[in-house]
Structure 1
Amino acid sequence: MTTAKLNVLFKKIQKDDKKEVLMFHVQGDELPHANELLKMPGSITMLNVEESEAGEIGAEFISIQRDNKKTVLKFHIKRDVDEKVNKLYPHAGANVSITLQPSQMSIEEFYEEPHEGLEYSVNPDGTANIPSGQIEMDEVVVKH
């Protein structure tokens, strides 16, 4: 996996009820690590703003837009259970160094809602043993 390190302007951080949007600008007509970066949109990346204490954050790399003055990098962050994004707010509007690395997580996994699983054990014959009191397949009603 290739890691791209960039000096950028942390242009915007915006929060709504489902996700947070981060936008970075790379100034100038040259884009360091252009080949690697152009392959990343539409995938999950590990994003790190080096000046913050947030550490790596999983983010969907939404888009990269280039013109003759700047390149705009846009990311969506979901499920900020560790409140890492809050540690980024003081850096919005400033020049920062970011590192980007492709993640092995798929977009489906990234947006999957967390849920409680069932407790079970696997018998030697390969069948599952579910403790009483939990839902069984016969009890599941499919609604269309």
Structure 2
Amino acid sequence: MTNTKLNVLFKKMQKDDKKEVLEFHVQGNELPNTQELVGLAGSIVILNVDESKAGTFNAEFVSVQKDSKKTTLKFNIKGDSDDKVIKLYPHAGKSVTLFMEPSQMSVDDFYDEEEYEGIEYKIDKDGTANVVPDQMSLDEEGQGQDEPEEKDDDPFATTASDDDLLD
């Protein structure tokens, strides 16, 4: 599935301490790409509400619920997207155009709170990666450090020879 465009009612936004819950309703029985939407549920998608200036953001596609009058789409957005989410508030309760496409991010990555510093690099047109030259490599990490002294844990070991002790 590449990019799905849906005309939806932006039903509600609800915020808790870690995430923002967005709920959209598709009116009627006909839902385009139903199988693909069901397949995306439970994964991370890239969302864009066309009428807002929020841009795109990653969201967990929590569920698709269908009844006789409507189909409900629920999404979770992490709190680190607050500046974008604020731009969605004026559109809650109105009909909007929702663009959605699958993301390569996993749910575990989406909710991973621990940030880590990676290695900066650039990919050339031929597909090779070039690391920024100022970064330390693993080879450099081990250089310049003294080898740890070997510690003899034998309490009976002596520095004198056995012959010296007998005299």
Partner AA of 1:50 in structure 2: D
What TM-score comes out, normalization by structure 1 length? Answer: 0.81
**Corresponding position of 2:74:** 74
- Of 105-114 and 92-101, deviating more is 105-114
Which whole-Å CA distance do the structure 2 matches of 1:78 and 1:18 have between them?
Answer: 6
Please say if 1:37 is aligned against 2:49. no
AA aligned to 1:12 is K
SS in structure 2 at match of 1:14: strand
Return the TM-score normalized by structure 2.
0.71
Bigger relative contact order, structure 1 or 2 (CA pairs below 8 A, ≥6 apart): 1
Q: Deviations over 1:95-141 (max 9, x none)?
A: 00001100000001000114354884221xxxx6179xxxxxxxxxx
Structure 2: gaps (5+ residues): 119-134, 144-167
Number of residue equivalences? 128
Superposition misfits of 4+ residues, deviation over 6 angstroms: none
CA RMSD for the aligned pairs? 2.1
Please tell me whether the aligned partners of residues 4 and 36 of structure 1 are also in contact (alpha carbons under 8 angstroms). Answer: no
Q: Which residue identity is paired with 1:122?
A: L
Q: Point out the structure with the larger helix share.
A: 2
Describe the SS at the equivalent of 2:113: coil
- Aligned pairs for 1:3-42 within 5 A: 3-42=3-42
117 and 12 in structure 1: CA distance in 2 versus 1, 3 angstrom threshold: same
Any gaps of 5 or more consecutive residues in structure 1? 132-144
